[in-house]
Amino acid sequence: MAASGVWKASMVRSGREEVYVAAMPLRATKGPPQLLMSAAYSLNFWNFHHFMVIINNKPLNRTNPCSFQLLVYDFQPKDPEDPYAALAVLSGRSVPGAVLVRKLKKLPRNKCWLVGYSKEDAEKVATEFNKTWETSLRVGVNDCRHYTNGGKANPCMHAFHTHTYIHTYIMGAATVAIPEVVLESSNGQRRIPVIGLGTAPEASSKVSTKDAVVEAIKQGYRHFDAASAYGVEQSVGEAIQEALQLGLISSRDQLFITTKIWVTDNHPHLILPALQKSLKTLQLDYLDLYLIHWPISAKPGKVTYPIEQSELVPFDMEGVWKSMEECQRLGLTKAIGVSNFSIKKLQKLLSFATIPPAVNQVEVNLAFQQHKLREFCKSKGITVTAFSPLRKGSSRGTNMVMDNDVLKELADAHAKTVAQICLRWIYEQGLTVVAKSYDKERMKQNLEIFDWCLTDEDYKKISEIHQDRLIKGPTKPLLHDLWDEEDEHQLYFCFELCLGCNL
């Protein structure tokens, strides 16, 4: 690879890691068989337009989930129809294109050839290279559509194969394809992106929810987290329709939509009607995930916040959950889950559930790390989604995350923002996260967390951060038994809850 705006496989063995090239076959044979003659024929190079340079990295720390064995520079030629592209790069000649970064745990099934060793500054040069190459890449789960200065390439020629399970981080390009995890209780029907956009209303925001969701889709977000109590379902639905009309997505199936049932509908006979109402408002036929917002019930009626304790009624957890299971069986939601459930409440739910909760969405951030709850959920196959990852929403006082001096030091050391440090930590814990920002630049920054790692020293410093829950509960006065006294540190029961965090 050279810094002059070209990418090529280096035969120089001065680097540290082995470099392989993997060629990806087209869906249909391109070019006459006489092309490239015997050399091309032996390797079927006229069938290839899409190939990868694979750097065989050694894991930094085998116990660290952010450690990858393979770092892949996935090269997209400017002219993917040119049958000479693969041979040109392998022989060291310049071929214009764009470079994507992938992380793999094993080589793809297609043939791979060892061509040399990487240079130590390979990633830096690839990044600089992309800054000089104007391109727009749209990447889907199993599809890559490449639009270049040379014209619109045939999208049928850009089908990835089974290895594109691997998720792509595009340097200097238009979008980021976000890693996903399988929701265990949904029978493998749905994968949830590890980062989603929260839509809880925020009085200070000057951007509408509809515009924010459309912009987020442009940037690569695919998970959108709503709730009936947020009053944003109509805006989210309108944004989805606009994204379809603009061609930002080809179908609703490319999105992961979550919404939640409010406590006034937390009654067995109201679950299905509430879901049907949300679907109508969202203009959708199904949800990807439907959550019980809080493990309490209030008298049916309008959404009020905070909820007066006099409005609360006994929560029929078993009856409500059976109604949630029926919603999944009817195909109205691909998966069901809960939010703000303690270990004790999860144990009770699991004792009678025939479909276990796929997700428990709870507060997790560097000032409230929830180790015990996370370990319990992991042992039961329940995916944890973190809300309030940046600890925003307190009505007074300093932010124990964003204003933390230790985290500011880590951000400076990594040349990242404090928010990126927080989100990277959550990602490395194996969690999914809902981050709320309608600011275009911060949306972009929140996705720039997949190509670097925190160090063991970082983890040591993070472990020393004082722990305290931010979200105390949705009632006034607070329910002191809501969390079943499971907090790992003393809580200060002052009312700091606001709508901008999570209802």
Question: Catalytic residue positions?
Answer: 230
What 8-state DSSP symbol labels residue 484? T
- Compute the distance between CA of residue 502 and CA of residue 500 in angstroms, rounded to an integer: 6
**Residue 190 token pair:** 């749905």
Longest alpha-carbon distance in the chain: 83
3-state helix, strand, coil in the chain (%, to 5): 30, 20, 50
| Overall residue count recorded for the chain in this entry | 503
For CA atoms 152, 155, 157, 159, the dihedral sign is positive
Q: How far apart are CA 326 and CA 274, in angstroms?
A: 13
Cα–Cα dist 13/119, whole Å: 8
Q: How far apart are the C-alpha atoms of 129 and 7, rounded to whole Å?
A: 8
In the DSSP assignment, the letter for residue 301 is S
Q: Which residues contact 35 (CB under 8 A, 6 or more apart)?
A: 46, 83, 84
CA dihedral 415, 419, 425, 431 (to 10 degrees): -140
Please give the Cα distance from 223 to 120 (Å, whole number): 35
- Cβ of 397: how many Cβ atoms within 10 Å? 9
Question: Count of alpha carbons within 13 Å of 25, Cβ hemisphere only?
Answer: 11
219 membership: H or E segment, kind and range? helix 209-219
Q: What six digits make up the tokens of 413?
A: 């050391």
Q: Is the distance from CB of 16 to CB of 56 less than 8 angstroms?
A: no
E-only strand ranges, 206-351: 223-225, 256-261, 289-292, 297-298, 307-308, 312-313, 336-339
Rg (CA), the chain: 25
Residue at 261: amino acid letter: I
All residues at 6 or more sequence positions from 114 whose CB lies less than 8 Å from its CB, including other chains: 18, 19, 20
What does each C-alpha distance from 55 to 29, 165, 248 come to in angstroms?
28, 18, 32
Question: In the block, which residue shows the tokens 């410093």?
Answer: 461
In this structure, what token pair is assigned to residue 110?
Answer: 């297609």
Angle at 236 between CA 232 and CA 239, to 5 degrees: 140
